[in-house]
Amino acid sequence: MVITGSALFVETGSRESVLKHLKRYPRVTYHASSDSGTELVVNMEAEDLEELENLCAQLKDEVPQVVEIAHIYVNFEEEVEEASFGQKDKRRLKKPKFIDNREL
Amino acid sequence: MSVTRREMIKLSAAAFAAAALNIPFAGRTEATGEDQIEVDKWVKGACRFCGTGCGVYIGVRGGKVVGVRGNPAALTNFGFLCVKGFKGYMSMYHPDRLLYPMVRQEDGTFKRVTWDQALDLVAHKFKELHQKYGKDSVAYYGSGQCMTEESYTFNKLWKGGFRSNMVEGNPRLCMASAVGGYVTTFGTDEPAGSYSDIEKARTLFIVGSNMSECHPIIFRRIARQKLKSPEEINVIVCEPRLTATARIADVWLPADPGTDLAVFHCMAREMIKNNWIDKWYIQNLCRFTTGKEVVDFDEYAKFVDQFTPEKVEKLTRCPAANIREAARLFGSQGPTMSLWTMGLNQRTRGVWANNLIHNLHLITGNICKEGADSFSLTGQPNACGGVRETGSLCHLLPGTRPVADAKVREQVEHAWGIPAGTIDPKPGFHTMQMFASLGGERDDSKPIKAMLITTTNPAQSLPNCHKYFKGMQDAFLVVLDIFPTRTTQFADVLLPAAFIYEKGGVYGCSERRSQLTGQCVEPPGEAKPDLWIGAQLAKRMGFEKLIPWNGDNAPENYRKAWDDYRSCVKMTEHSLYGITYDRLQKSEAGLQWPCPTVDSPGTVHRYVRGKDPIMDMPEIVKVPPTALIYFYADQKHEGKANVFLRPYKGAEEPPDKDFPFFLTTGRVIEQWHSGTMTMRVPEIARSQPNAYVEINPKDAEEYRIKNGDLVKISSRRGFNILPARVVKASLPGILFVPWFDQNWDRMINRVTIDAFDEGSKQPEFKICAVKIERFADPKDVADMTIVSRVDDPFPGKIS
């Protein structure tokens, strides 16, 4: 399990609407915002770092007022345990099944 | 109220984030941060995945690193970290770690040996080669990722012990032109200002840098300024690709690769025509010169007058109106800060390009003021601190001083306690010459017979790399690293090294800031810190007195090496004598040199009276008592900086009929350098599993290339086969390929050119001419290639 302390940078004036959107994401917990309302402090939770990346990408996609997401703390002690030397086979990379043909 | 462990971690994580953002956080009463997260200790340190110098805290539990958090008190990153900062360290637990010394056997495979056997063999071989072929037959090739104490030690051993200047490092490939630019313009290396100028600048000029991917934390500082005051803050980006960096720009200057000298001169022309210049600066702080003779301002104005916006547009494809607007913003909407990296440096005219950026700052008075600086961002975490400042290049001595200078040699010999005349006045070979001169004992044309390489992967990172494989294979090659790499495939001896958090030490980032990382955990297996390896080698070769820090207490060894180094540069204008280990341990943010005394707070702005302590240290430099700003390293002792009339010159190999495309290369946000670490973090590897070639849709259409198609990209030197990424970000005629991929088909340095700047000797990685052809239908190439085992055979033909 990965838990972050992260900053969401959002467009000016969009704080309330972003918070409304965030309610749809049970793995994102809001805590506080800056006076300007453009910086929100949240936790993000994910099974692993890959899922965290996906969650960030999903947030940016689905909540257009989110300009950027920055993690300030990431706790992933279980992941390190898994990465230890005793579990060599687990750690070998699995080949993903996709061809990179994104249209940017 | 009882709080579960998970809730506690969440609250603590949120508290860290809030602190970094300076946001009041009610939850702090329940979760006040580090004490609440279950770690045995948090160790202060620096990130090692770019040159920004982000402050981090490393969480350790049960002898393992289990977490990383940004340090909110760090003045580089204020607690923010990028994807590499968070995840990159996990590579230290990858099963491919080199754990034991190994020696290649006659059958070509490696065999595990003891440290004594390995070190005795290396010492014996080096001594034998010294005797047979002379002191310069054994070279050292280091890295901007080694700790300062390590680079200093190897440099001292080679120059003060072996009496050889055959010392180089990979910063030659990334920063040498910036050094050349600073030294020729200001008389000494490294920027006058600091990152803190970003928040005080009104106009930011970003040149040859995709900082959104390569220096994301610095980019965040800029983007935050722009987001906060979009009407007040101006951003200009000069870069041939419409990168995420260029997307925040008010003005984009899309000049073809290698043509921007004309753009900079044109901006100077517009500034002069419109009187966006600072006459006081010009009169008092500028010396106009062709490089051969001093001229006056009128001559300079006449020189730049030939670079009219319309002419420059024809030459560079950069719209004239954009250049005019960029000049206006730079010259009249200051303070202005420029930031650049490899797009400016990795060129055959890299030094000149650096000079011309400095020109713009000098004629407009945009330097040595808050928010105004001409600032080179370094690419690696310790290229500045470890290699430039310790003088670990073939022509330098500690304090970035020339080895050819008799007074400097005398001072260093005195500091090192070695007889006068020990240090060879003749510079050694620069990186490209060094690798071109590397070969076997039977080859009389190759004077360098052995090389010790640490923390870098030249078999993948040298331009036109296959030209240098044979030399690496034939020579006696000793490689210190944490993983197998393309370079270890040529090694005769492999020495397993410790990762930064397994040893600690000092890194010095782009803004002259030294930060100490504490040792967090022990290295795995029998891996050892580079410093220990260097000191043990010195001991076996008879230089124990010169390098006495050879005990088994790693932190103590590093402290001793640091103290030796700071004493050596005490009486220089680069002095960091006041930056002691004790101060670094106590300081959350580290210290910036010049810092000549233990009570000095360090220096944010150099050359400014009241801010830079060196201004009032006549024992180091002479500065007139009335001078408020004075470029004290000026070789003519007039306190002036040089504004150069550099003629226009384009790339070494521009596109032509046979090779009609520009190829430019670079980094992507997820991957670090040759991918040896980041490719071993599965999430990173999967997010960017292979290199690709970016092609503009118009070019793709002409060549009938679709997204994902395999494309053969060929230069006069070699070819790659890469999947196409059809994007508008690259202009027609310009291709981009990232260079992290170890896969033989996608190692782009088989294609790049090894021509180099005649001043800085830095190669032109950024520009060469290529042709393309559609090679095959889309194929899954996301193979995330790594050299996984030491005995993996090298894939390419070596000749």
Residue from A94, A88, A5 nearest A50 by CA: A94
What is the complex's ipTM, to 2 decimals?
0.81
Residue from B637, B646, B634 nearest B291 by CA: B646
Quick check: B236 pLDDT over 80? yes
Name the residue of chain B whose CA is nearest to A75's CA.
B67
Distances (CA, A) of B334 to B16, B122, B326, B436: 35, 56, 12, 46
Q: What is the pTM of this model?
A: 0.89
Query: Residues B92, B174, B238, B384: which is the catalytic one?
Result: B174
Residue from B716, B664, B748, B654 nearest B463 by CA: B748
The answer to whether the peptide bond before residue B309 is cis (omega within 30 degrees of 0) is: no
pLDDT by residue (tens digit) across B127-167? 999 999 999 999 999 999 999 999 999 999 999 999 999 99
Task: Enter the DSSP assignment of A5.
Answer: E
Q: What is the pLDDT of residue B3?
A: 54
Q: Which of residues 73-92 of A touch B (CB under 8 A)?
A: 73-77, 79-81, 83-85, 88, 91-92
| More confident position, A83 or A19 | A19
Q: What is the pLDDT of residue B30?
A: 36
| More confident position, B780 or B199 | B199
Q: Where in chain B is the domain with CATH 2.40.40.20?
A: 661-776
The amino acid at residue B198 is I
SS3 B694: strand
List the single residue in A3, A49, A72 with the smallest CB-CB distance to B87.
A49
Q: Do the Cβ atoms of B93 and A96 come within 8 Å?
A: no
CB B57 within 8 A of CB B44: yes
- Element counts in chain A: helices (H) and strands (E): 4, 4
Name the residue of chain A whose CA is nearest to B692's CA.
A100
| More confident position, B467 or B19 | B467
| More confident position, B448 or B684 | B448
B213: pLDDT confidence band, cut at 50, 70 and 90?
A: confident
Q: What is the pLDDT of residue A81?
A: 54
Quick check: B775 pLDDT over 60? yes
Q: Do the Cβ atoms of A34 and B21 come within 8 Å?
A: yes
Helix (H) or strand (E) holding B486: none
List the single residue in A38, A83, A98 with the smallest CB-CB distance to B93.
A83
Quick check: B111 pLDDT over 90? yes
Q: Do the Cβ atoms of B26 and A36 come within 8 Å?
A: no
Unique residue bearing structure tokens 């969009």:
A14
Dmax over CA atoms of chain A, in Å, equals: 51
Closest CA of chain B from A19, distance in Å: 16
Neighbours of B684 (CB within 10 A): 28
Pairs across A and B, CB distance < 8 A: 179
Q: Give the class (CATH, top level) of B661-776.
A: mainly beta
B374: pLDDT confidence band, cut at 50, 70 and 90?
A: very high
Residue from B494, B490, B488, B526 nearest B111 by CA: B494
Cβ burial, residue B591 (10 Å; 0-12/13-18/19+): buried
Taken in order of first residue, the domains within chain A and their CATH numbers are 2-91 (3.30.70.920)
Q: Do the Cβ atoms of B524 and A88 come within 8 Å?
A: no
Q: Where in chain B is the domain with CATH 3.40.50.740?
A: 102-173+382-500+525-573
List the single residue in B21, B23, B67 with the smallest CB-CB distance to A74.
B67
Query: What average pLDDT does this structure show over B469-476?
Result: 98
Give the rounded percent of residues in chain B with a pLDDT score beyond 90.
Answer: 86
Q: What is the pLDDT of residue A77?
A: 62
Unique residue bearing structure tokens 């973090």:
B681
CA atoms within 13 A on the CB side of B580: 8
Q: Tell me the C-alpha distance between B714 and B663, whole Å.
A: 10
pLDDT by residue (tens digit) across B612-637? 999 999 999 999 999 999 999 999 99
Question: Poorest-confidence range of A6-15, A55-64, B34-43, B48-57?
Answer: B34-43
Unique residue bearing structure tokens 């000079």:
B355
DSSP secondary structure, B330-381, as one string: HHHS-SEEEEE-HHHHSSTTHHHHHHHHHHHHHHHT-SSBTTBEEEEPPSST
Unique residue bearing structure tokens 């706790």:
A75
Q: Tell me the C-alpha distance between B53 and B46, whole Å.
A: 6
Q: What is the pLDDT of residue B2?
A: 45
Query: What average pLDDT does this structure show over B650-657?
Result: 97
Query: What average pLDDT does this structure show over B662-669?
Result: 93
Question: Poorest-confidence range of B513-517, B669-673, B702-706, B720-724?
Answer: B669-673
Degrees, nearest 5: CA angle B207-B211-B215: 135
Neighbours of B8 (CB within 10 A): 15
Is B175 annotated as catalytic?
yes
CB B721 within 8 A of CB B763: no
Q: Tell me the C-alpha distance between B353 and B376, whole Å.
A: 12
Quick check: A103 pLDDT over 80? no
Q: Tell me the C-alpha distance between A61 and B175, whole Å.
A: 37
Query: What average pLDDT does this structure show over B737-741?
Result: 96
Quick check: B33 pLDDT over 50? no
B31: pLDDT confidence band, cut at 50, 70 and 90?
A: very low
Q: Tell me the C-alpha distance between B277 and B651, whole Å.
A: 30
CATH of domain B102-173+382-500+525-573: 3.40.50.740
Quick check: A7 pLDDT over 70? yes
SS3 B729: coil
Residue from B300, B298, B291 nearest B360 by CA: B300
Neighbours of B796 (CB within 10 A): 15
A79: pLDDT confidence band, cut at 50, 70 and 90?
A: low
CA atoms within 13 A on the CB side of A92: 7
Name the residue of chain B whose CA is nearest to A89's CA.
B95
| More confident position, B162 or A95 | B162
SS3 B288: strand
| Mean pLDDT, chain B, whole residue set | 94
Residue from A73, A48, A7 nearest B34 by CA: A73
β-pairing verdict for B102-104 and B110-112: antiparallel
Degrees, nearest 5: CA angle B452-B454-B460: 100
Name the residue of chain B whose CA is nearest to A42's CA.
B14
User: B320-332 and B309-316 are packed helices; what angle lies between their axes, rounded to 10 degrees?
Assistant: 120
Tokens of B537: 């080698």
